[in-house]
Amino acid sequence: MTSRDQPILEVKNLETHFPLDEGTVVAVNGASFEVMPGKTLGIVGESGCGKSVAARSIMRILDKPGEIVGGEILFRRNRGESSEKVVDIASMDSNSAEIKSIRGGEIAYVFQEPMTSFSPVHTIGNQIIEAIRLHQDISKEGAREIAIHALDAVGIPLAERRLSDYSFQLSGGLRQRAMIAMTLVSNPTILIADEPTTALDVTNQAQLLELMSELQTDNGMAIVLITHDLGVIAEMADHVAVMYLGEVVESAPVDDIFHNPQHPYTKALLKSIPKIRSNSSERLASISGTVPHPYDRPPGCAFGPRCDFFMPGRCDASIPALQEVRPVHQVSCFLYDEGD
C-alpha cells in the first residue's frame, strides 16, 4: 500500500466533553472518520451536531473547559518519504512545541468568520508575514514577497497594496480569501474549512469554492470541509461523514450519500432540500422533533426519538455501532444489523 492509499488523518472514537456546573456537555461522542491525501472529506449535519468541535479537537484549540477525554487523532506527518511519522494529536499537550509546529503549519484552519480571526489593529500583511516567519526561517523581506504571492494566488487584486489594509477594510469575500492565503503560506497537507461560505453571497460562495478546488489541484492538499449546506457537499466532497449529536451516523462516498443514503437521518436531511421542480405551494419536508438538549441525551441511538423507524426496546437500549453495509459505506443503525 502506497502512502497515497493511506489516510493522512484518522480520527478514531473521538470523545470531547465540556464539564460545566450544570453538567457535562458531550460535544463529540465516539466520532470516527478518515481523511485521504489530496481528497475532500465533507462533514455535514445540523447546527450543534459537533462538527466544529471535532475540527477544533484536531487543531487542539478547544475553548475552555473543553477537553479530549477519549479516542485517537492519528496524523501522518509527511515531510518527505524518508521522514514519515504517525503521531497521536489527541495525546499531545495543546501547548507543546510539536502541536504548534503542526497547527497552522501542516494542518491549517479557515474559520467561519474571518473578521474574528484577523486582528483589527494589525494589517493583513503583518499578520500573514508573522504566520510565515513562525513556520519558516526567513527574513521579513522574503516573507513579504511570499505574502504578496499568496494574496495574488487567491485572486485578491492589487495584492501588494492590500498588505497595508486592515481586515475591516475588506469585503467578506476578500477577507475569506485573505484568510485562505494566510493558511496556505506554510504549504499545509490538510486544510480544515469550517463553514467557509456561510457569511458570503451566492456569487462569492461559488468563487470561493472554485478557488479551493483550484488550490487543492495545484497543491495536492487534503481538505476537511465542514458545512450544513448539502449543495456545497455535493460540489466539493469526495467522501462524506454525516454527524448527529456528536456521532458519525453515516460515512460514504459522496455519490452514495446522495443517491443511496442508508441512515434514516441522512434520508431525512436529503428530503428537506428544496427541489427545483417542486410546487411553490408544497411544504418542505422537515425532521420531526428537535435535537436533544446536550445535558439530556436520549438513551441508545441519539436519533431514536426523531426516527420513523424507531424500534422500542432496541434503539433505546444501546448505541448502534458504525458498521460497513457496502464497500467503503458505513452506517450506525440497527436496521442493518446482520441477521435482521
Torsion sign across C-alpha atoms 308, 310, 316, 317: negative
Rounded Cα gap, residues 153 and 250, in angstroms: 36
Side chain identity at residue 156, one-letter code? I
What pLDDT sits at residue 284?
67
All 3 cell numbers of residue 194?
A: 469550517
d(CA 130, CA 133): 5
- In Å, what is the CA distance from 43 to each residue of 176, 203, 208, 246, 324? 20, 23, 18, 12, 18
C-alpha–C-alpha distance, residues 257 and 230, integer Å:
10
Q: Would you say 212 and 180 are in contact if contact means Cβ atoms under 8 Å apart?
A: yes
pLDDT digits (tens, 9 = 90+) for 265-314: 999 988 877 766 666 666 766 777 778 877 778 899 999 999 989 999 99
Angstrom distance (rounded) from CA 65 to CA 17: 8
Tens of pLDDT along 221-231?
999 999 988 88
Query: How confident is the model at residue 338, as a pLDDT?
Result: 60
Residue 308 CA, distance from chain mean position: 29
| Tens-binned pLDDT, residue by residue, of the chain (340 aa) | 446 678 999 999 999 999 988 888 899 999 999 999 999 999 998 888 889 999 999 999 998 999 999 999 999 987 554 567 899 999 999 889 889 889 888 998 888 765 667 888 889 999 889 888 887 888 888 989 999 988 888 888 888 898 999 888 888 788 888 888 888 888 889 999 988 877 677 777 888 888 888 889 888 899 999 998 888 899 999 999 999 999 999 999 999 999 999 999 999 988 877 766 666 666 766 777 778 877 778 899 999 999 989 999 999 999 899 999 989 999 999 998 764 5
Alpha helices, DSSP H, located in 185-327: 202-219, 230-236, 254-259, 264-271
Closest C-alpha to 190, from 226, 220, 235, 160 = 220
- pLDDT for 276 equals 63
pLDDT for 259 equals 94
Among 226, 242, 245, smallest CA distance to 56 is for 226
CA 190 from centre of chain: 11
Calculated CA dihedral for residues 86, 26, 318, 321, nearest 10 degrees:
-30
Using CA atoms of 320, 322, 323, 327 in order, give the dihedral in degrees to the nearest 10.
150
Domain boundaries defined on the chain: 119-185, 260-336
